[in-house]
Chain A
Amino acid sequence: MSRITLSNLAHSYLPNPTSDADYALKEMDHVWDDGGAYALLGASGCGKTTLLNIISGLLRPSQGRVLFGDRDVTDAPTTERNIAQVFQFPVVYDTMTVRDNLAFPLRNRGMDAAYIARRVDQIAKMIGMEADLNRKARGLTADAKQKISLGRGMVREDVNAILFDEPLTVIDPHMKWELRTQLKSLHREFGHTMIYVTHDQTEALTFADKVVVMHEGRVVQMGTPEELFETPAHTFVGYFIGSPGMNLLDAEIAGSEARLQGVSVPLGAAYGPTTGRTQIGIRPDYVAISDEGLPVTVKRVEDVGRHRIVRAEFHGQPLNAILPEGMTVPPYPRVAFAPAKINVYANDWRVAPLGS
C-alpha cells in the first residue's frame, strides 16, 4: 500500500493532440493519500475511466508520471502494479467455478493453498455467495457475476489500491446499498486506498471521505461532501451536486454586495473586483420564499415527499427554492438568500472572499 501521485499527467487518445479539446484528461497534479476512500464523480465521458485506467496501468498516459509511493510506475505493466480494478460490467471466467474465480488473483501470485481457501471463504461470505462456491460462473445472473468481480477485486489483501469503475450499475437497488455498505466496512477494516468512480452523487457521497469531481477532463474540486455542498469550487460542482443543483444568477459584485438586475443583495463577505462572467451561486436549500426580497415568477411546484421544490424564474434565469413542509407560496412571491451561503463565481470558478 502506498500513496499514489499523479504528476503533470495528461492523456489524449489521439496520436498528435494539438488543442486542449484533443485531451481526454487535461494536465493535472493530484495525490491520492494512502488509505483514503475516494469517490470520483463526474458526468459520463469526463475522463473518469481514463484516469482509472492510467492508475492501473491499462493505459499509458501521453504525458506525466504516475508514482506509487516514491516508485515511478508510469511504464510498469499492470501486473507489476499489484492493483485491483472492478469494471462497470461483470467479467468472470466462465469455465471456472465461483471458487476458482475468487482464488484466481491469489493463485497467480503463488499464495499457499490453505491461505487461499481461507481468504476465498471470507470473501464469499462478504458477497453472500457461499452457497454457490462450487458452481460454474457461467449461467449466473448479471448481478451475481458482478458480485464475483467485486470479490475478485477485494480478495488480495496486499494491493496498492482498489479501483471501482461504476461497479454497481448492473446490481439491483437493494443489493447496491448493501454492497456499498460492505465496501465501506471493508475499507475501515483493511484501510486499502479505494477510488470509486460513479456518476451517481448519492453513491459518491455515501461511500467516500473525499469526493473528487471531474469535469471535461479536469479535476475541478476535491473535498469532503460538505465542502462540495457548501463551497463548490466550480459552477459544475454546484450544479452537479445537490438536487436540484445550485442556482446561478448573473450579478455584478461590489464589495460585500451583489447587484442583480439593479437589485442589491448582501453577501456574507467582501470580494475584490472580478473579471469575466460573474455569477452568484446559492443552494435552493438557502433560498427563502416569502414576500420580501427579489421578485420572482413561480413556474411550478414539485412535491418530492419531505419538502417541495419551487421552480421559479428571476428575469428569465431559472431559480429553484426548497419550500419546507407546511409553508405555502405567497401570492406575490419574493426570495431572499442567506448571505453567508452565497458563493461568487467568475468565469465558472469560485472567487474567494477577501481576507480568507
Chain B
Amino acid sequence: MEKTQNNKAWFLVLPVLALVAFSAVLPLMTVVNYAFNDTFGNNEFFWAGIEWFDEMIHSERLRAALGRQIVFSLIILAIEVPLGIFIALNMPKKGFWASLCLVLMALPLLIPFNVVGTIWQIFGRVDIGLLGHTLAALGIDYNYTNDPLDAWITVIVMDVWHWTSLVALLCYAGLQSIPQAYYQAARIDQATRWSVFRYIELPKMKGVLLIAVLLRFMDSFMIYTEPFVVTGGGPGNSTTFLSIDLAKMATGQFDLGPAAAFSIMYFLVILLISWVFYTVMTNLDREEAR
C-alpha cells in the first residue's frame, strides 16, 4: 500500500511556536539587539558590533565576579552533595518517621527565595538575630555586614540550608528503588558498609545524583535573590556574584549594552558547562555498559 505523505500537521505546531516566540525568543532578541548596538535613548541605535563583548571579556570586574561565582558553586556542591547523600542514607526507610522526615526535608524547598534571604538576614544580625546575637554573646566576632569571610560563610550556610534537601530527597528516591535482595546478597557476601555504599548504593544513585548535581550547579551559578537580600553583594564586592553584578550593571548603572553582552555570554557559559557535564556523565555510563 502506498503511504500518503501529508505535512499539513506541521501547521498544528504554529500556535506553540507563536507562544514560545512571544515568551522567550522575542525578549531574548531585545537583549541581542542591545548587545550589538549602542543607544542614547529615544529608541535610536548605533551599530557597535562586538565592542561590548570585547569590553566585557576584558573587564576585571566581570572576571572577579566570575571567579567568585565559580568558587561559590564549587563550595556549595562540595558540601551539599556529600551531605545530601549522607542524610539520604540515614533517613528512615518507611513508617511514620520516614514521612515526617520527608515533610521536614521538603520545607526549606517550599520557602520563596527572598523569604529565605530575609530569614537569614535577620537570623544573622548581631543586634536582634538569634544566630548573630548568640555568636556575639559567646564572644565570637561575627558580622556579615563588615567581614567578607563572615558574609561568605553566611551565604554558603544559607544555601546549604535551603538546598541540601533537594539533593537528599533525590538520593533518597534513588536509594528507595534498590531491591532488598541487593542488601541481602551483600550481607551473604560479607561486604563491609563501605562496599555496600560503593558497589550497590552509589551506582544505583548515579542517575539521580547526576540530576541533583546539574540542578544545583545551574541554580547556584545563577543565584541572585538570597545573597542580594542578605548582603546586597557586600561587604564591598565580596559576595557580588554574576547575577548580582549583572543586575547592578543593567538596572543600577543603566549600562544596557555591556549588560546585554554580559547576559548572553553568561547564558552561553551555563549552557556550555551543563552540556559538557551531561555529555561526560552519560558517556561514562555508556562506557561502563560495554
Contact of A108 among B184, B190, B200 (CB under 8 A): B190
- List B residues 136-152 near A (Cβ within 8 Å): none
Alpha-carbon distance between A265 and B106 when the two chains are bound, in angstroms: 76
Residues of A within 8 A of B203 (CB): 93-95
B288 sits at the interface (CB 8 A) = yes
CB closest residue in chain A, given B285? A138
Q: Are B289 and A56 in contact (CB under 8 A)?
A: no
Select the stretch in A75-83, A241-249, A253-261 that faces chain B.
A75-83
Instruction: For residue B74, give the distance in angstroms from its CB to the closest CB of chain A.
Output: 26
| Per-residue B-contact encoding for A138-151, CB less than 8 Å = 1, 0 else | 11000000000100
A229 sits at the interface (CB 8 A) = no
Select the stretch in A84-92, A281-289, A293-301, A342-350 that faces chain B.
A84-92
Residues of A within 8 A of B188 (CB): 56, 58, 78, 83-85, 105, 153
Q: Are B189 and A104 in contact (CB under 8 A)?
A: yes
Interface residue SS majority, chain B: helix
A136 sits at the interface (CB 8 A) = yes
Select the stretch in B56-64, B80-88, B191-199 that faces chain A.
B191-199
A152 sits at the interface (CB 8 A) = yes
CB closest residue in chain A, given B185? A91
CB closest residue in chain A, given B202? A95
Q: Are B184 and A58 in contact (CB under 8 A)?
A: yes
A109 sits at the interface (CB 8 A) = yes
Number of interface residues, chain A, beta carbon within 8 A? 29
Q: Are A96 and B199 in contact (CB under 8 A)?
A: yes
Contact of B289 among A78, A79, A139, A149 (CB under 8 A): A139
Residues of A within 8 A of B195 (CB): 104, 108
CB closest residue in chain B, given A96? B199
A135 sits at the interface (CB 8 A) = yes
Q: Are B189 and A95 in contact (CB under 8 A)?
A: no
CB closest residue in chain B, given A59? B184
CB closest residue in chain B, given A85? B188
The answer to whether residues A79 and B187 also contact, given A93-B199, A135-B290 and a CB cut-off of 8 A, is yes
Interface residues of B (CB under 8 A from A): 179, 181-182, 184-185, 187-192, 195, 199-200, 203, 288-290
5 intermolecular pairs with C-beta atoms under 8 Å apart: A53-B184, A83-B188, A85-B185, A93-B199, A105-B188
**Top 3 closest pairs, chain A to chain B, by CB:** A78-B187, A91-B185, A108-B190
